[in-house]
DNA sequence: CAAAGTTTGTACCGATAGGTACAAGGCAAC
DNA sequence: GTTGCCTTGTACCTATCGGTACAAACTTTG
């Protein structure tokens, strides 16, 4: 297979690209910084991503979305033990966002106008997260309207915790907030399950 | 007074500057866009803000902080009726952030490395908000540890609501989340007050 | 090894970034 | 009206932006 190498390298550059976008934002990330982050020259970068920065971000979003689909969304959508699934979600999310030290690329994109190009992907990511979590709560017999409300609150709360933890430079606050969100959900599950 | 005009114009440019920084972020806001937003030429901009973009953002932060100090922090710090103060805070915040359509400049600054220059101001803003709100809850006889937790949760929750509402393009979600946060606080006040 | 295709560094492009210099214009005080 | 200060537009600077071109180097295939 002639394109095996190419695809592999393109794929393996994504985490570094994601990290660079996380650190500097989409506008703030220059080709020079992306080149340094990945260890690839400009030539290679444009070889793998002919569409430039836009295509790189697109690929990064796809990659992130894939990770979340596997690690977060699917387990919630195909849940058998809701309480365990919720606990696992919070554990995975805390690890993924490094207790708020790591920023959510998707959330950040939505915040300024440079991300308008990716608006659909951003929206879908959050919509799917909320509906997956709401489904999980409904399986635990939480009334549908309340399930959606709680799911929305939890996803939003995680984003807020990232903002606050970054602003205060204090991941302990992230942990506290997320722990509270988790018990709110577990309480609801316990109440109806 | 010879410098009255100058100071007035500098001050009156701040809202437009803030809006431009909100829309494009700090890195994304170019001098051209700042010039267009304020209606001031480059010459005037550098006359009022010799330090360039950094000084403009500094002034914008100062301005925002002043507004919050007057409208949000002080009423919480010098509270007599905690329930009314909390309700007023949520009303003012909802109006200020236009139900999440408007982004929080301070929160955004904390998210990427371009805001490191302003880290102290960002941190102080959130720290003061949380401690003012916690104080308000303590006046309502909420136990101190719980007051801090609730305050942290509320401030963080507002930031999360902005992120989510922007991402989904749906201010109704902002309203729902903020209403929930408000009742959580009012419940606590009612329970102990 | 030779042929064919991939991957890479380097040099380069026009556009625009943030910032400076400065002369012309506007405005108050006398 | 004239003086002196403040304000402003324009022209200009260098650095860097995202992006292109392309030949050299490397792989893979036979």
| pLDDT score at A193 | 73
| pLDDT score at A7 | 53
Counting the structural domains of chain A, the total is 1
The answer to whether residue B6 is domain-embedded is: no
Q: Is 70 exceeded by the pLDDT of residue B3?
A: no
Q: How confident is the model at residue A9 (pLDDT cuts 50, 70, 90)?
A: confident
Q: How is residue B115 written in tokens?
A: 């805001």
- Say which CATH number the domain at A163 has: 1.10.357.10
Give me chain B's average pLDDT, please.
Answer: 95
For residue A6, give the nucleotide whose C1' atom is nearest its CA: C6
Q: Which nucleotides of D are covered by protein (CB under 7 A)?
A: 5-11, 16-23, 27-29
Closest chain B residue to the Cα of A109, Cα to Cα: B167
Cα–Cα distance between B158 and B75 in angstroms, integer? 18
Burial grade of A116 (CB within 10 A; 0-12, 13-18, 19 or more):
exposed
Q: How confident is the model at residue A72 (pLDDT cuts 50, 70, 90)?
A: very high
Write out pLDDT tens, residues A146-175: 999 999 999 999 999 999 999 999 999 999
> The domain containing residue A93 runs over which residues?
4-192
Mean pLDDT computed over B133-149: 98
Q: How confident is the model at residue A10 (pLDDT cuts 50, 70, 90)?
A: confident
A8: Cβ under 7 Å from strand D? Answer: no
The answer to whether residue B111 is domain-embedded is: yes
Cα–Cα distance between A171 and A154 in angstroms, integer? 18
Cα–Cα distance between B58 and A44 in angstroms, integer? 39
Write out pLDDT tens, residues A107-158: 999 999 999 999 999 999 999 999 999 999 999 999 999 999 999 999 999 9
Alpha-carbon distances, residue A56 vs A28, A43, A108, B29, B86 (angstroms): 14, 14, 16, 22, 44
The answer to whether residue B16 is domain-embedded is: no
Q: Which nucleotides of C are covered by protein (CB under 7 A)?
A: 5-11, 16-23
Q: How confident is the model at residue B193 (pLDDT cuts 50, 70, 90)?
A: confident
The answer to whether residue B35 is domain-embedded is: no
Burial grade of A156 (CB within 10 A; 0-12, 13-18, 19 or more):
buried
The verdict on a CB contact (< 8 Å) between A103 and B111 is: yes
Cα–Cα distance between B34 and B14 in angstroms, integer? 10
A101, A22 Cβ separation under 8 angstroms: no
Q: Where are the extended beta strands (E) located within chain B?
A: none
Mean pLDDT computed over B97-103: 97
């Amino acid at each position: 297979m002639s394109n095996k190498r190419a695809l592999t390298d393109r794929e393996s550059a994504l985490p570094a690209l994601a990290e660079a976008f996380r650190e500097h934002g989409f506008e703030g990330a220059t080709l020079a910084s992306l080149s340094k982050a990945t260890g690839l020259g400009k030539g290679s970068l444009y070889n793998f991503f002919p569409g430039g920065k836009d295509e790189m971000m697109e690929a990064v979003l796809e990659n992130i979305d894939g990770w979340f689909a596997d690690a977060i969304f699917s387990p919630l959508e195909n849940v058998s033990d809701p309480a365990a699934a919720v606990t696992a979600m919070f554990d995975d999310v805390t690890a993924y966002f490094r207790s708020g030290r790591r920023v959510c690329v998707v959330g950040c994109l939505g915040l300024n106008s440079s991300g308008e190009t990716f608006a659909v992907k951003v929206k879908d990511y959050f919509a799917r997260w909320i509906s997956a979590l709401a489904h999980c709560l409904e399986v635990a017999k939480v009334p549908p309207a309340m399930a959606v409300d709680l799911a929305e609150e939890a996803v939003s709360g995680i984003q807020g915790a990232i903002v606050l933890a970054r602003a205060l430079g204090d991941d302990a606050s992230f942990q506290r907030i997320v722990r509270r969100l988790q018990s709110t959900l577990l309480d609801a599950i316990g109440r109806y399950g």
